[in-house]
Structure 1
Amino acid sequence: MYFSESIVLLQDAASDRDEALRRLAGEFVSRDLVLASFPDAVLDREQRYPTGLDLGDIAVAIPHTDAEHVRTDQLGFMSLQNPVTFRQMGDDTATAEVSLVIMLALHKTEDQIPMLQKLVELIQDRTSIDTLRTTTSPLEVVETFARAGLR
């Protein structure tokens, strides 16, 4: 159950990448799903291995960190009022103006690649992305992820 706790922040007013990541990671900490080290570990990993993905008319980030910081598997979602700058995955010099953040907390390292593959399929689906971009309903976010096989 990746949404056993509904961590869904809609139209968040974060002013930059670090604020967005800290705010979303803080939701995981407040629910005791991760260790207190989780937010800093996410920021550190994002600095070393950027997760921004530019999809053309929208960009998504999929931040995560090492399993040692995680107690319980969980996904978190954030849509932003205004895009924030992330560095793009696989290109140290390119940036992406991210509007959607999908944060992973997985307590088994071997689960990360299959999860990332499912998430890439989700964000490549135009209907799902449009729903996630415009929804005002946390339940609709959870249902969108469920339809993609991410319950």
Structure 2
Amino acid sequence: MDATLFCEALTFCDCELGSSDDVFELLGRHLRAGGYVADTWLDAIRERERAYPTGLACQELGVAIPHADPCHIIKPYIAAVRPKTPVAFEPMAGMGDTVGARLIVNLGLKGHTEAGKEDDGAWQVEALQALMEIFMDADKVDEILACDDAAALCACMARLCGGSRV
């Protein structure tokens, strides 16, 4: 995963967010202002989350990894939100109970071209696998939860994700 896609302007700590929709509205404001997403992004991520929920009750942490289709992304990014209290997300693949997400990582990735061949989306699978490895590691989760502001969370996520690339 390309850890340079994390930036402090798209990292949020201890926000008062009551729902996944509040998360999407917060992200949408900042993503549009930064030129990262098209005007269609907010509706697209809401619709995709309804159709394909992204809540994951990992052993160490409840997380959500929402994303919109690449056609709504202008430039790639990874945004991270650690809300003040867990935000309810429906479970991925409808498996299990509603997940109280203590960390939301929004992937705004586009396919990359390598040696003249368009990537088939393996980049997104690789990013999800890298994140899952982090979320299953108790020590890494503790590091994430110990961050006291956006700068620390951004630096922590970039460092933890720096071992792989998209």
Q: TM-score, normalised by structure 1?
A: 0.89
Q: 1:142 maps to which residue?
A: 154
Q: Which runs of no fewer than 5 residues in structure 1 stay unpaired?
A: none
Q: Is the 8 A contact 2:76 2:108 kept in 1?
A: yes
Counterparts of 2:60 and 2:6, CA distance in 1? 27
Counterparts of 1:53 and 1:92, CA distance in 2? 9
Task: Compute the displacement of 1:36 (Å).
Answer: 1.2
The aligned length equals: 151
Question: SS of 2:134's equivalent?
Answer: helix
Task: Compute the displacement of 1:126 (Å).
Answer: 1.7
Alignment identity in percent? 26
Largest Rg, 1 or 2: 2
Q: Is the 8 A contact 1:26 1:39 kept in 2?
A: no
Task: Compute the displacement of 1:138 (Å).
Answer: 2.2
> Do the aligned partners of residues 77 and 44 (structure 1) sit closer, same or farther apart at CA in structure 2, a change above 3 Å counting?
same
Counterparts of 1:102 and 1:5, CA distance in 2? 13
Counterparts of 1:122 and 1:32, CA distance in 2? 29
> Do the aligned partners of residues 83 and 4 (structure 1) sit closer, same or farther apart at CA in structure 2, a change above 3 Å counting?
closer
2:64 to 55, 61, 66: 61
Task: Compute the displacement of 1:13 (Å).
Answer: 0.2
Alignment of 1:127 onto 2:130:
no
Q: TM-score, normalised by structure 2?
A: 0.81
Counterparts of 2:161 and 2:136, CA distance in 1? 14
Question: SS of 2:6's equivalent?
Answer: coil
- Asked which structure has the greater RCO (Cα within 8 Å, sep 6+), the reply is 2
Counterparts of 1:125 and 1:58, CA distance in 2? 9
Q: Is the 8 A contact 1:58 1:98 kept in 2?
A: yes
Q: Which runs of no fewer than 5 residues in structure 2 stay unpaired?
A: 112-119
Q: 1:39 maps to which residue?
A: 42
Question: SS of 2:5's equivalent?
Answer: coil
Alignment of 1:3 onto 2:12:
no
